[in-house]
Amino acid sequence: MTDPALALTDVTFAWPGQGGFFLSCPDFRMAMGENVLLLGASGSGKSTLLSLVCGIATASGGSVRLGNTDLGSLRAGARDGFRAEQIGVIFQQFNLLPYARALDNILLPLRFAPARRARAGDPEAEAEAARLCSALGLPDGVLATPAGRLSVGQQQRVAVARALIGAPPLIVADEPTSALDAATQDSFLRLLFEQAAQAGSSLLMVSHDERLGQRFDRVIRLEDIVTTERAAA
């Protein structure tokens, strides 16, 4: 039997400090190639769960597995490299380098990920970046433009191209449509799904927006897979 793309088992985690936030996730799995939307209200712990999935935060108990690798078995440096190889991340604020060309932003994850760079067609990864931009509806000329000079919609597509390049097995997206109107959201999601499917990537998106649900293989409410507690003030 093939490993799931992602498996969280008996995971526990607490942010340190007063008013600490505790989260536990007994069992959450995603199949290879599956698209899952995780719905939750603001402050419910969606970004915390994504941090655990990406290995940015480390579970205090249980296991987070991507394919056949347990993130907890990796030292910090190895975990960073593993993340760069295996996960394409689309942040809410896109996190592009504003003074770097869109092309350099898209190629950035490949610097830390030799296997992903090879999948992107090293040494011609620029051609793959151009193909992704065109497939995502970005006009010619965007690649050479500093990211900070692009429109919000264009920056968002550049952020998606950066996540998709080199076909990472998992794409993680944190509220990537929050800055868009409904019509633009729909075309954006269609392109993201098409390109993720072409790359064979699984897609885990978190949002508070129930309207996005119809395009996904599975829609889950955060409270159905995690329990959370806040320390008394």
Ligand X SMILES: Nc1ncnc2c1ncn2[C@@H]1O[C@H](COP(=O)(O)OP(=O)(O)OP(=O)(O)O)[C@@H](O)[C@H]1O
Of 7, 2, 11, nearest to 65 by C-alpha is: 7
Query: Under the criterion CB under 6 A, does residue 40 sit at the interface with ligand X?
Result: yes
Binding residues with ligand X: total (CB under 6 A): 12
Report the residue from 9, 12, 15, 31 that binds ligand X according to the rule CB under 6 A.
15
Question: What x/- string results for residues 192 through 211 when contact with ligand X is judged by CB under 6 A?
Answer: ----------------x---
For the chain, the residue count is 233
DSSP-H helix ranges across the chain: 46-54, 76-86, 102-107, 114-119, 125-135, 152-164, 182-199, 222-225
176 binds ligand X (CB under 6 A): no
Name which position in 46, 117, 119, 157 contacts ligand X (CB under 6 A).
46
Sign for the pseudo-dihedral over CA of 170, 179, 150, 138:
positive
Q: Which is nearer to ligand X, 26 or 43 (CB)?
A: 43
Indicate left, alpha or beta for 13 from its phi (over 0: left) and psi (-120 to 50: alpha): beta
Out of 35, 47, 155, 195, the only residue in the binding site for ligand X (CB under 6 A) is 47
Among residues 2, 18, 42, 151, the one that binds ligand X under rule CB under 6 A: 42
User: Rounded to whole angstroms, how far apart are CA atoms 226 and 231?
Assistant: 16
* Min separation Cβ 52 and ligand X, Å: 10
Closest CA to 67 of 188, 168, 144: 168
* Binder of ligand X out of 10, 26, 27, 43 (CB under 6 A): 43
Q: Which is nearer to ligand X, 107 or 212 (CB)?
A: 212
Nearest by Cα to 233 from 16, 20, 11: 20
Of the residues 24, 35, 44, 195, which one makes contact with ligand X according to CB under 6 A: 44
Give the footprint of ligand X on this chain (CB under 6 A): 15, 17, 21, 40, 42-48, 208
